[in-house]
Structure 1
Amino acid sequence: MTVSIDHDPFRLYPANTVFPISGLDLKVSPGDHPWYLAERERAAENWRKEVAANPALFDGKMVFQHRLALQDGIIRGEAYMVPFSTFLWWRRQERPSGGLHLFCYPVPVSSDGAIIAVRMGERTANPGQVYCPAGSLDASDVVDGVCDVLGNMVREVREETGLDLRQADDDGRYFACHQERRMMVCRVFRFRQSADELLAAIERHMVEDEEQEIAGAIAIRSADPDAHPYNPTMPPLLSWFFGGGT
């Protein structure tokens, strides 16, 4: 069975519902994304405003989906590389269309059952928001024209927190959740250290981190959606995790 998010957002699974998937096949095509071609002038104008407000922003290339479908439990995608400025302009739309954003959420979990999340720094595109250490797929995550989702997770967590997901217990299962043309893919990594130990390790990393992407780390122990200024993608994940979804 194939369900397309382009026309009907995964009808089998309501929005904001975490569901299991059996794999991913996310291809990146050469050339330009149609939405980039149609909106590049407006995106460039918006970028000038974004940088004026936050000069630390960087207009690197990222993976932006053109089509996504769920086929026999596998999320299949067709994407193009676009400037980050294109994505920011897309994100500014009241009802984004013309593209889809698939991003990866590694979920670090301490030995005492807390999710380890980060609060983003003021120099980032999501200042003050709290969510799992993560970032959009970029050029370094594309291998032979296909996105390396696990590689993205390992890299992003290492860069932001200094933690190494390869040292955590991992059963290899992927889950997904969609919200208005956004698709979150998550995977749980269980560390042998306590939350306090992991937070202390992240604090040491922050002292040495020149990028200063994060403003701090947080141990989340409940599904309360108001406990922190969460990114909108977090409450469904927390509800699922603390509701025994894993």
Structure 2
Amino acid sequence: MSVLLSEDTTGWPPEKIVFPVGRIELRVLDGDHPYHVEHAAAARDNWNRELAANPAFYDGRMLFQHRLSVSEEAITGESYVSPFSTFMYWRGQRERAGGFHVFAFGMVVSSDGALIAIRMGQHTANPGQVYCPAGSMDENDIVDGYCDVEGNMRREVLEETGLDLRDGVADPGYFATHSDRSVTLLRVYRFPLTADEMLASIRQHMLVDEEKEIDGALAIRSADPTAHHYSAAMPAILAWFFGEAK
């Protein structure tokens, strides 16, 4: 069945709720994202300001979605490999348009029911924010012309925490939530280790991690949205996880 891809969110499920997703197909196109072509000069000027404020930033390449269809049946879309600087310019606009950010949370759950999260380092693009270990999809996550969502989750969790999602048991199916043209894909992975054991393992990983992206890990045990400096996606995810999925 043909799916109509669009640059708007008409007909999507309501924002800031978590819903099941039957299928995910995110195709990667050749060439430049139209948003990048249109806003290249403004994005370059903004990037110079970003670098002046944080010289640790790196203008890598990531998958920036162009058109997207979101429903419980499927999330399908088309993306381009784009500079991180273009995404940062788009993200900073008061009214976002012309693209979508799709990223994935591998939700790591301990044997005693805690959700394991990370706190981002002050030198990153999300300083001090607390969320599930994750990162934007990039060229490493392209398989046969499509975004490999599961591969992205495994890579990011492993890089940031040293935990391998293959050591956990995945709950059936994917879920998603969205807000302000950012779509978060979710899958729960349950580990045979307690929260204390998992946090100790992450602390050991942090000692040898060259990237130093995170400055700590936490065991979350409630849906309280004020307990930490959560990213924008987390309150809805916590309400769903501790209300329905735990």
Asked if Structure 1 and Structure 2 have the same fold, meaning a TM-score greater than 0.5 normalized by the shorter chain, the answer is yes
1-side partners of 2:73 and 2:240: how far apart? 19
Q: Secondary structure at the match of 2:76?
A: strand
- Please say if residues 122 and 128 of structure 2, whose CA atoms lie closer than 8 Å, have aligned partners that are also in contact: yes
Q: Which amino acid aligns with 1:216?
A: G
Q: Using a 3 Å threshold, how does the CA distance of structure 1 residues 54 and 228 change in structure 2: closer, same or farther?
A: same
2-side partners of 1:240 and 1:221: how far apart? 13
Residue 8 of structure 2 corresponds to residue 14 of structure 1: no
Other-structure match for 2:188: 188
1-side partners of 2:72 and 2:157: how far apart? 30
Count how many residue pairs are aligned between Structure 1 and Structure 2: 245
Q: Which amino acid aligns with 1:65?
A: Q
Q: Using a 3 Å threshold, how does the CA distance of structure 1 residues 180 and 4 change in structure 2: closer, same or farther?
A: farther
1-side partners of 2:11 and 2:217: how far apart? 33
1-side partners of 2:5 and 2:159: how far apart? 33
Q: Which amino acid aligns with 1:45?
A: D
> How do residues 6-155 of structure 1 correspond to structure 2 at under 5 angstroms?
6-11=7-12, 13-70=13-70, 73-155=73-155
1-side partners of 2:213 and 2:11: how far apart? 33
1-side partners of 2:202 and 2:116: how far apart? 10
Q: Using a 3 Å threshold, how does the CA distance of structure 1 residues 9 and 15 change in structure 2: closer, same or farther?
A: farther
Q: Which amino acid aligns with 1:128?
A: G
2-side partners of 1:114 and 1:23: how far apart? 27
How far the C-alpha of 1:122 sits from its partner, in A, is 1.2
Q: Which amino acid aligns with 1:161?
A: T
Q: Which amino acid aligns with 2:161?
A: T
Other-structure match for 1:210: 210
For residues 82-121 of structure 1, what are the alpha-carbon distances to aligned partners after superposition, in whole Å with 9 as ceiling and x for unaligned?
A: 1000000000100110111111111000001110000000
1-side partners of 2:148 and 2:23: how far apart? 12
Residue 182 of structure 2 corresponds to residue 197 of structure 1: no
- Please say if residues 108 and 115 of structure 2, whose CA atoms lie closer than 8 Å, have aligned partners that are also in contact: yes
Structure 1 gap segments, 5+ residues each: none
Other-structure match for 1:174: 174
1-side partners of 2:8 and 2:159: how far apart? 36
How far the C-alpha of 1:173 sits from its partner, in A, is 1.0
1-side partners of 2:105 and 2:210: how far apart? 23
1-side partners of 2:10 and 2:16: how far apart? 11
How far the C-alpha of 1:52 sits from its partner, in A, is 1.2
Q: Secondary structure at the match of 1:244?
A: helix
2-side partners of 1:58 and 1:143: how far apart? 24
- Please say if residues 154 and 164 of structure 1, whose CA atoms lie closer than 8 Å, have aligned partners that are also in contact: yes
- Please say if residues 118 and 217 of structure 1, whose CA atoms lie closer than 8 Å, have aligned partners that are also in contact: yes
Q: Secondary structure at the match of 1:36?
A: helix
2-side partners of 1:172 and 1:200: how far apart? 28
How far the C-alpha of 1:22 sits from its partner, in A, is 1.1
Q: Using a 3 Å threshold, how does the CA distance of structure 1 residues 230 and 3 change in structure 2: closer, same or farther?
A: farther
- Please say if residues 3 and 10 of structure 1, whose CA atoms lie closer than 8 Å, have aligned partners that are also in contact: no
Q: Using a 3 Å threshold, how does the CA distance of structure 1 residues 134 and 9 change in structure 2: closer, same or farther?
A: farther
How far the C-alpha of 1:17 sits from its partner, in A, is 0.7
Percent identity, aligned pairs only, is 54
Q: Using a 3 Å threshold, how does the CA distance of structure 1 residues 44 and 203 change in structure 2: closer, same or farther?
A: same
2-side partners of 1:226 and 1:47: how far apart? 31
- Please say if residues 19 and 72 of structure 2, whose CA atoms lie closer than 8 Å, have aligned partners that are also in contact: no
Q: So what's the TM-score if we normalise by structure 2? A: 0.96
